[in-house]
Amino acid sequence: MNGNILRSARAILHVTDLEASKEFYVKGLGFIVTESDGIHLYLRGLEEHNHHSLLLKKAEKPCVEVISYKVAEEADLDRLQALFEQKGMKTKWLEAGTQHAVGRALRVNDVTGMPIEFYAKMEQAERMLQRYDLYQGAKVQRIDHFNCMVTDVEKAYQFYIDELGFRCSEYTSTEEEKIWAAWLFRKPGVHDVAFMNGAGPRLHHTAFWLSDPMALIQGCDVLASLGYSSHIERGPGRHGLSNAFFLYVRDPDGHRIELYNGDYLTIDPDFKPIKWDINDKRRQTFWGAEAPDCWFNEASVVLDVHTGEPLETAAAILKQHKPTFIT
């Protein structure tokens, strides 16, 4: 294996108004503030013992700097660097001390163009799981997964499985047996990253695990009472894919966050991926409610890890297909 990737670990989002973001993420969604310096806001879920799983950076325009995965040990970073360089993908090192609370890290734009990061060490923080007196909003527990909008899902699928050691839990197939969307995992859940066919590379959403379905309902109530009704984009509902309860919300800059609960274990070595037909409407919303057009068309711009400039968005390869439900 080319580096022992453990799980999805953090997202770094650029936002235009840090105070507005803090109000939304802390009061509305229930994140814990680990630190803030006026330019950076470090957030974590109630269950998390690492310094942060979401870093918001004040910037002129909203975008995604990087999505990150935690690896088992420092040597895994070197193995991954050798792999990417061998495949012709230029890497970038961020030495220990370059980023607050994070050790040495490796960044690269992957085969799809998505900016990804790997690290082994992060400072610890107090776990607030049993500090029920601090629970508020949707009571976010931990980071769960990323969903990436890319032009060639099959290319991403093959690279992440063959080279990075991911496994597939579920996938959607077209009439021509092309993979339209795929859910890939390292931790024993449904996914750490999903790839959906669309104009990309862009980040469709970052998902955070909640303790139970009622937390989604309470999240809706709290967001509405705080004046964020228009930020609720889709749900609550149940996915056919993953079987999880979901709620999609948009933060003050338009970044999409999924609140997520209730998928299943995939740790058994004899677990086989579940195939969904692209025309099966139950796969995206098991109960049948359709998603709004913005859910299919809008996603966050991502940056080149070397230049820091926004990456150009390309059209999807499978653009001839236009099913009602995509993920």
Per domain, the residue ranges of the chain are 5-119, 139-301
Contact 142, 125 (CB under 8 A): no
pLDDT at 322: 34
Contact 165, 276 (CB under 8 A): no
pLDDT at 250: 98
What is the Cα–Cα distance from 319 to 240, expressed in whole angstroms?
23
Contact 22, 137 (CB under 8 A): no
pLDDT at 317: 60
- Residue 281 CB: number of other CB atoms within 10 A? 15
Reading the block at residue 193, the tokens are 């990253």
Give me the tens of pLDDT residue by residue for the chain, a chain 327 residues long: 688 999 999 999 999 999 999 999 999 999 999 999 999 999 999 999 999 999 999 999 999 999 999 999 999 999 999 999 999 999 999 999 999 999 999 999 999 999 999 999 999 999 999 999 999 999 999 999 999 999 999 999 999 999 999 999 999 988 777 899 999 999 999 999 999 999 999 999 999 999 999 999 999 999 999 999 999 999 999 987 888 999 999 999 999 999 999 999 999 999 999 998 887 777 678 887 888 899 989 999 999 999 999 999 988 764 433 332 222
Q: Give the Å distances, CA to CA, from 35 to 132, 133, 192, 217, 327.
A: 20, 20, 26, 28, 34
CATH node for 139-301: 3.10.180.10
pTM across the whole model:
0.95
Which CATH superfamily does the domain covering 5-119 fall into?
2,3-Dihydroxybiphenyl 1,2-Dioxygenase, domain 1 (3.10.180.10)
